[in-house]
């Protein structure tokens, strides 16, 4: 099988603007992943091609990119999805500054992530066991299931960078940060909900979501992103009524 990769290239040190590079790969298999194809281009044809990747198993979230117009993890996409001898187009994710080729500046994304306090908050003394030693804070199976979906996030940014509201305004906290906030807001052991909801009530918070729904199908972990955003919106409204 022969595969043609069209890759959006840009090196700010020498290119005035991005351009498409075309690379033909012979002897490919349908079971090759797009990440492997990119490696072949880098190792066999042009060592200057720049991309991020680590685990190659859909776990680390570092190789989100736009593949034939959709945000995907390159390590999870098989070539056979695109038919016989296909042309596959690969671009950096949108809405974040391109540093080089397929690598974007993730700092604004992680700034939004940090803003929602993505960590457990509880300053009360932990419970003690029969010997008087601290032990874990328990919760019911139902309480744990309440936020199970949003624990699966791997911070790949595929959702946020597929959101037109984020493209229009990079100050929007974005769906990934809301998913991370959701994971703690609905944890029965956490006490930071009010502060998180205050952050998300900001004009650049959760209300910039117009329920466009690009984010949910973009999520490689199958998280119901739009549903989580809706639940956080409801929590804000409910908090205002209380």
Site residues for ligand SF4 per CB under 6 A: 61, 153-159, 175-176, 179, 218-219, 221, 223, 225
What are the E-state strand segments in 3-124?
Answer: 3-9, 19-25, 64-67, 70-73, 87-91, 98-100, 103-104
What are the two backbone dihedrals, phi and then psi, of residue 128, each rounded to the nearest 5 degrees?
Answer: -120, 155
Contact predicate 121/185, CB 8 Å: no
What are the two backbone dihedrals, phi and then psi, of residue 131, each rounded to the nearest 5 degrees?
Answer: -90, 5
Q: Does 214 bind ligand F3S (CB under 6 A)?
A: yes
Site string for ligand FES, 26-65 (x = CB under 6 A): ---------------------------xxxx-xxxxxx--
Name which position in 86, 175, 192, 205 contacts ligand F3S (CB under 6 A): 175
User: Smallest gap, in angstroms, from Cβ of residue 104 to ligand FES?
Assistant: 15
Q: Does 97 bind ligand F3S (CB under 6 A)?
A: no
Q: Does 99 bind ligand FES (CB under 6 A)?
A: no
Q: Does 77 bind ligand F3S (CB under 6 A)?
A: no
Q: Does 213 bind ligand F3S (CB under 6 A)?
A: yes
Strands across the sheet containing 64-67: 19-25, 3-9, 87-91, 64-67, 70-73
Give dist(CA 218, CA 152) in Å, integer: 14
Contact predicate 64/157, CB 8 Å: yes
Binding partner at 211 among ligand SF4, ligand FES, ligand F3S, none, C-beta below 5 to 8 Å by kind:
ligand F3S
Residue ranges in contact with ligand F3S by CB under 6 A: 163, 165, 175, 209-215, 226, 229
Rule CB under 6 A: which residues touch ligand FES? Answer: 53-56, 58-63, 73, 75
């Amino acid at each position: 099988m022969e595969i043609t990769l069209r890759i959006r290239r840009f090196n700010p040190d020498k290119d005035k603007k991005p351009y498409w590079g075309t690379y033909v790969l012979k002897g490919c298999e349908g079971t090759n992943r797009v990440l492997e194809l990119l490696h072949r281009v880098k190792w066999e044809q042009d060592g200057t091609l720049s991309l991020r990747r680590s685990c190659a198993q859909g776990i680390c979230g570092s190789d989100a990119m736009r593949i034939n117009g959709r945000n995907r993890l390159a390590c999870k996409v098989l070539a056979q999805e695109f038919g016989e001898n296909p042309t596959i187009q690969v671009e950096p994710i949108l809405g974040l500054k391109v540093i080089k080729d397929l690598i974007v500046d993730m700092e604004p994304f992680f700034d939004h992530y940090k803003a929602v306090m993505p960590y457990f908050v509880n300053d009360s003394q932990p419970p003690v066991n029969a010997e008087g030693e601290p032990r874990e804070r328990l919760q019911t199976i139902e309480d744990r299931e309440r936020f199970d979906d949003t624990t699966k996030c791997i911070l790949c940014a595929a959702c946020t960078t597929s959101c037109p509201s984020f493209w229009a305004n990079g100050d929007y906290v974005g769906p990934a940060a809301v998913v991370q906030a959701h994971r703690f807001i609905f944890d029965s052991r956490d006490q930071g909900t009010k502060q998180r909801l205050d952050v998300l009530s900001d004009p650049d918070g959760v209300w910039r979501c117009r329920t466009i729904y690009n984010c949910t199908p973009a999520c490689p972990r199958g998280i119901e992103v739009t549903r989580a955003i809706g639940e956080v919106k409801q929590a804000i409204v409910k908090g205002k009524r209380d």
